[in-house]
Amino acid sequence: SCWQMGAYDLVVLDIFMGKMTGIEVAEKLRETDKNVNIAFGTSSNEFASESYDLNACYYLCKPFQADKVKAMLDRIGSDEIDRMRSVKLPDGQNVILRNVIYIDCASHIVTIHCTDGENIVSRNSFAEIESIFCSHSYFYTSTKGVIVNFYEIAQQKSDLFIMSDGTHIPISRRKSRETLDAFAQFHFSDLRKGGEQ
């Protein structure tokens, strides 16, 4: 009943859960979201074929230890989880982080510009939005009232970023060195991880 598409990175289900089985819950989830990561935990392999039919990403046999959970997360892949990671805004809206190109604020209205062309509008303060997004290393405030997603920068010039949708975002002169250093550090870290897939 609390399911919302895009609100979860990973759903781990027990097979026996009271009113519905984990298999039944997974079937319901798949009706609305074909891509969410679903894992099952149970005490036998009896339902392994059903989990395969539902495109489950992992099957944990109980009792399991921390190393088994780590193996599950490694198999799913941190980049895949990161691509689906979402945040909930104070007004209740869910935003998938990697779908964001940039965020700007005008007349106390925050607009989140997304890769699918759908803007998300929020009346939360820019400071609240900034604290949520900039806690993730690939979001950065390049100038007053604007947050960029480093993944979505198509080109960097000395005084501006050109975003993947063609928008020109200025880089504050006061923060220019700091901003370009942060962007260079992001690129270095991304290259060490293998770059964008």
Here the CATH number for the domain that contains residue 179 is: 2.40.50.1020
Backbone angles phi, psi at 65, to 5 degrees: -105, 175
Overall pTM > 0.75: no
| 58-114: pLDDT as tens digits | 788 888 888 888 777 776 666 666 666 788 999 999 999 999 999 999 999 999 999
pLDDT interval class at 190 (50, 70, 90): low
Q: Are 57 and 117 in the same domain?
A: no
One domain for residues 71 and 114: no
Query: Domain end: 58, 82, 106, which one?
Result: 82
Q: Is residue 131 part of a domain?
A: yes
Query: Domain for residue 197, yes or no?
Result: no
Are the C-beta atoms of 86 and 94 separated by less than 8 Å?
A: yes
Are residues 39 and 105 located together in one domain of the fold?
A: no
Instruction: Give the end of a domain, one of 26, 52, 82.
Output: 82
The reply to whether 93 and 140 lie within a common domain is yes
* One domain, residues 93 and 77: no
Contact present, 58 and 30 (Cβ < 8 Å) = no
User: Domain with 46 in it: what CATH number?
Assistant: 3.40.50.2300
Closest CA to 143 of 112, 111, 103, 181: 103
If asked whether residues 76 and 98 sit together in one domain, one would say: no
Same domain, 94 and 71: no
Please provide the DSSP assignment of the chain as one string: ----TTS-SEEEEESB-SSSBHHHHHHHHHHH-SSSEEEEEESSSTTHHHHHHTT-SEEEESS--HHHHHHHHHHH-HHHHHHH-EEE-TTS-EEEGGGEEEEEEETTEEEEEETTS--EEE-S-HHHHHHHHTTSTTEEEEETTEEEEGGGEEEEETTEEEETTS-EEE--STTHHHHHHHHHHHHHHHHHTT---
The domain tally of the chain equals: 2
Same domain, yes or no, for 39 and 56? yes
26-50 pLDDT tens trace? 898 888 877 778 888 888 778 878 8
The end-to-end CA distance of the chain, in Å, is: 34
Residue 132 CB contacts under 8 Å (≥ 6 apart), including other chains: 87, 89
Q: Which domain holds residue 170?
A: 88-192
CA distance 45 to 90: 41
Does 142 have pLDDT greater than 90? yes
132 and 117 together in one domain: yes
Could you tell me if 160 and 116 lie in one domain? yes
Nearest to 87 by CA among 47, 124, 51: 124
102 and 179 co-located in one domain = yes
> Do 100 and 55 belong to one domain?
no
Last residue of a domain, one of 57, 82, 107: 82
Average confidence score pLDDT of the chain: 86
Q: Please tell me the predicted confidence (pLDDT) of residue 197.
A: 40
